[in-house]
Structure 1
Amino acid sequence: MSTRVRIDDNGITAPADKELVLDVVFDGRRIWSFWLIRDGESRGPDSFVEWPPALRRFLDGTVEIGLVEHATGDVLFTGEVALGGKGAQRIKVETEDGKPLGLDKSNRLAQTFDTRSSEHVAPLLDSIEEVLDALRKAGIDAFPAYGTLLGAVRGGKLIGHDSDADIGYVSDHTKPVDVVRESFRLQRRLSEMGYEITRYSGAAFKVDVAEADGSVRGLDVFGGFLTDDEHLVLMGEIRTPFKREWIFPLGTTTLEGRELPAPADTDKFLSATYGPSWRVPDPAYHFETPESTHRRLNGWFRGTRVGRDNWDRVWSKAEREGRADLTPDALTRWAAESLDRPAQVVDIGCGNGAAVHHFAQQGVPALGLDYSPRSFAHAAALAEEQGLPARYERVNLLELRQTLAWAARIARDPGPRLVIGRHFLDTTTVAGREHFWRMAEMLTRDGGRTVVEFVVPSEGAEKVRLLRPLRAQRVRREVKERGADVLDVTEYDTDTSAVLGADAPRTGGRIRVCRMVVEWP
C-alpha cells in the first residue's frame, strides 16, 4: 500500500508513477473506477482526481475506502475516511429504498450488474431475447452490441460495471438516407407490436419493454451499415474499414447461459468497437471517436436529440431535490390577465408544466408539449389526481414529422388558441425555431395568438446554462418570413432564477428577456 494516497472532500490524490485503472471501493463494494493519469490533474509526482458530481451528494459521513488496481487486484490504499463533516452516519451509495448504486463507465449513477443476482438480471435477458425476436419479425437480424457483446464474448456474462444492454444491426442498405428510412420503418413496426419507442437519432432508438413485475426496461437499438468503400458505420461511435463476411452470416455467443446471435467474427467486431485490447477489462473506458467520424454521423443521422441529455439531467435533479413548484411565471400571469380567454392553451416546451397547470385551474383546457417527459411528470400526475383539464405529451419539435403530425392533430380541436413558447426559441436549434413557427401558424390560423419569451443579449447579464440569447430583430424577421404580424414587443430585466427555475444559478444575477406577441392574419 502507498502512504502517499490522500482522500478528502475534494477528491483522491495518489502517486502517478504509472498509469493505472483504479476501483474505488466503499465498505467492500466497487463504487467508481477511473484512470489515474488520464482522468486526473498533475500535482508534482502525484495525480489528483475529483469526486464525480453524481457521487458528491452521498459523501457525508464515514466509510472504509479502498483504492484497488482493477487489473491485478493490488490494494493501493485502504482505511476509514470521514467526509463532508456534517454527519457521523455511515456513507451508503444507494437508492432511497436501499438498492445499491454505482457509477457506470459514463459516471452516471446506476444499479450496475455487479450488485445484482442472476435472478435480478433474468428479466433483462428476457427483454434482450424479446427485442431481438421482434426485430427479426420486422425483417432485421440484430445482435447484442457494445458492452453487452463484450461481456458475452469475453466472459459469457454481463460486465459488472455496466448497467444497460445494447443491441445492434447492420443494414443491407449502403446509403445513409436508406438506413434512416429503414430505421423509421422498424420503429413503426415495433410500435404496431405494442412497444413504446424513444428515438435518439436517424439510426438509433430505445425500445421500452414491460416486465412481469410492471417495471419498464429500455434497450438501445443502434443501426449500422457497410458503405460502398467497405467501412462499417454503427451508431453511435464506429466508422472503420470492415468486410461484410466479418458480420454475416451471423454466428452465436453465450450470455449468462443463453445463446444469442453475434457477428461472424467477434474479434474483428470488438476490435473495431474497443480497439485491439478489448480483452483487457477497463471499467473506465472512454470512446475516443475521431472528429471525422463524429462529423459524418452528425451530418447523416443526428440533429433530433440536441440538448436532450442536458434537459433530462436538469429535471432529474429538480425531482431529486424536491423542486416541483408549479407557481406560474411572469409570462403566464401576464397572458392570463392581459389576453382574451382562449378555448385552448398549448405550451410548447412546457418544462415543469406550470403554465398548463395554471390555465387548467382556471378551467381552460391546456396541453403541454416537451421532449423531456421527466419535466412534466409531477404536473401530469397532479392533473390526473385533481381532475384538471390538462394533459402533457412527449413531442420533439426537432423532428418535422412530429411537428406536422401533432399540429394537425391539435388543430382539429375548436379554437381560438393561445400558443406559449417560454424560453423555447433560445434553447433550441434553427430547425427547432422553424418548426415552432410552423406549428404555431397551424394552430392559430383560425384564430388565436402566440406569445414567446426569450433571452436577449445584454451587457453585464449573467449567463444561464442551456440558454443562448437571441436578438429581438432576428426573431421578428423569422416571424415576418412566416407571414405573421408582431403585435407587441416588450423587453425587461429579471432575476436569473425567474428564467430557468430548475437550473438557474442562485446568485441573484440579472438577465434581460424579450416578450413578443404574434398573430397570423
Structure 2
Amino acid sequence: MTRRDARRRVREIAAMAKGELAFGRTGLDFRKLSLEVLDLRANRGWIEWLEAAVATAVIARSRPARTVRFLSELRERHEQDGKPELFEAFETLINDYLAPEKLTNHGYTTATFDSVDHAPIWSGTAAAIAAVEATGHQVFLNSGTLLGVVRDGRLIDHDDDIDLAVILKATTDADAASEWRALAATLAETGALDPEGKRIAGLLKLRGPDGVEVDLFPAWFVEGRLQVYPHTRGELTEEQVLPLVPCPITGHARPRDAEAMLAVNYGEGWRTPDPFFKFDWPRARRVFAPFLKAI
C-alpha cells in the first residue's frame, strides 16, 4: 500500500468512526478497524490517524491507557496548530458517545470519583494502609491520590483508583527488590493482596473498597535520596519526605514536602488539572531498570 493509499484509508476509517460517534450504531466491526488503524501506524503523527485510533478504540472499548495517550498527543497537535477548539469538539464527541461511561487509564467506567461517595473509599483505604503498616513499614499517599488531596482537597474527579507508596528499609536497588518480593509474599499470606488484581512489575494490588483498585508502589532511600517507582529517582532528599505528616483532608500520611514530590511526578504545571496527563513510562522503566530487573 502506498503512503497515499494508507492516508486515504485512514481518512475513511476516521470518517466511519466519527459517524458512529455522532449518530449511533452502524454495525461496523470497530475492533477490527482499530487493529487496521494500528497497522497503519506509520501515519501516527498525523492528526487524522490519531483521531481514527482514538475513535475506533473508544467505540470498541479497547486499550484505554493507550487511547488516553493518543488523546494527549492529539491535543498537543491541535495546540501546535493553534486550533485547540478542534480538539475540544472531538473530546466532546467522545464524551457524549461514552456517557455515562468515562475513559480513564484503567478502562471505560461509570465509577470515577466524581460520581461516588468518598467516605467508604477512604475507609477502605484506611484498611489497606493498616494491612501494610502491620508489616512494620510506613505508608503514604502517592501519585494521583496525593495530587487530588493537595490540589483539589479531594480525590480527582476523573480518577478511579487509589495510589499508595510503602517505604522500604532497603538502601540499594538490589536490597529494595529483595525486600519488595518479601513484602509481597507477606501481604499475600495475610490476605491483603487483591487476588483478582493484575500482576504488574513494580506495584502490588491491595484489597480496597468495592470497585476501587488500590495500587501500592515501592519507595526507598539511597544515600539520603528518595526513590519511588516509577516517578522519583533521587530528585528529593530524605528531609523533604520524612517525617511523614498527616494529610489535613484524610488524616493519612503524606510526604513532608508533598508539593515538591508532585512537581517531580507531574511537572511544574501540576496545579492545573489535566485528564490526559501522559506519564513517561519508557523513561521510568529505563532509569529504574536495575530495580525492575532484580524483582
TM-score normalized by structure 2? 0.66
- 2 CA distance for matches of 1:161 and 1:303? 34
Query: Per-residue CA shift, 1:220-248, capped at 9, x if unaligned?
Result: 100021222x5432122332422101110
Q: Give 1:49's aligned residue.
A: 51
| Paired amino acid for 1:111 | T
Q: Report the 3-state secondary structure (helix = DSSP H, G, I; strand = E; otherwise coil) of the residue aligned with 2:214.
A: strand
Q: 1:82: how far off?
A: 9.7
Q: 1:178: how far off?
A: 1.7
> 1:140, 1:169 within 8 Å by CA — same for their partners in 2?
yes
Q: Give 2:120's aligned residue.
A: 123
| Paired amino acid for 2:58 | L
- 2 CA distance for matches of 1:140 and 1:232? 16
- 1 CA distance for matches of 2:189 and 2:113? 35
Q: 1:114: how far off?
A: 4.9
Q: 1:166: how far off?
A: 0.8
Q: Mapping of 1:229-248 within 5 angstroms?
A: 230-248=224-242
Query: Per-residue CA shift, 1:176-216, capped at 9, x if unaligned?
Result: 22212222332233233322355533x4211123x5xxx46
Q: Give 1:295's aligned residue.
A: 286
Rg (Cα) greater in structure: 1
Q: Give 1:167's aligned residue.
A: 164
- 2 CA distance for matches of 1:101 and 1:181? 40
Alignment partner for residue 190 of structure 1, among 173, 181, 187? 187
When residues 216 and 193 of structure 1 are mapped into structure 2, their CA distance, relative to the original with a 3 A threshold, is farther
Q: Number of residues paired by the alignment?
A: 233
In the alignment, structure 1 residue 252 sits paired with structure 2 residue 246: yes
Query: Per-residue CA shift, 1:293-318, capped at 9, x if unaligned?
Result: 422423322587xxxxxxxxxxxxxx
CA RMSD of aligned residues (A): 3.7
Q: Give 1:93's aligned residue.
A: 98
| Paired amino acid for 1:242 | L
Q: 1:101: how far off?
A: 1.7
Q: 1:151: how far off?
A: 0.2
> 1:166, 1:221 within 8 Å by CA — same for their partners in 2?
yes
- 2 CA distance for matches of 1:78 and 1:206? 36
Name the one with the larger helix percent: 2
Alignment partner for residue 222 of structure 1, among 205, 217, 220? 217
Q: Give 2:176's aligned residue.
A: 179
When residues 193 and 284 of structure 1 are mapped into structure 2, their CA distance, relative to the original with a 3 A threshold, is same
- 1 CA distance for matches of 2:228 and 2:243? 18
Q: Give 2:259's aligned residue.
A: 267
Q: 1:126: how far off?
A: 1.5
Q: Mapping of 1:124-139 within 5 angstroms?
A: 124-139=121-136
When residues 253 and 75 of structure 1 are mapped into structure 2, their CA distance, relative to the original with a 3 A threshold, is farther
TM-score normalized by structure 1? 0.39
When residues 161 and 40 of structure 1 are mapped into structure 2, their CA distance, relative to the original with a 3 A threshold, is farther
When residues 135 and 288 of structure 1 are mapped into structure 2, their CA distance, relative to the original with a 3 A threshold, is same
Q: 1:134: how far off?
A: 1.5
In the alignment, structure 1 residue 278 sits paired with structure 2 residue 270: yes
When residues 240 and 177 of structure 1 are mapped into structure 2, their CA distance, relative to the original with a 3 A threshold, is closer
Name the one with the larger strand percent: 1
When residues 163 and 274 of structure 1 are mapped into structure 2, their CA distance, relative to the original with a 3 A threshold, is same
- 2 CA distance for matches of 1:264 and 1:231? 14
When residues 237 and 78 of structure 1 are mapped into structure 2, their CA distance, relative to the original with a 3 A threshold, is closer
When residues 183 and 48 of structure 1 are mapped into structure 2, their CA distance, relative to the original with a 3 A threshold, is closer
> 1:142, 1:169 within 8 Å by CA — same for their partners in 2?
yes
When residues 9 and 220 of structure 1 are mapped into structure 2, their CA distance, relative to the original with a 3 A threshold, is same
Q: Report the 3-state secondary structure (helix = DSSP H, G, I; strand = E; otherwise coil) of the residue aligned with 1:49.
A: helix
- 1 CA distance for matches of 2:205 and 2:93? 41
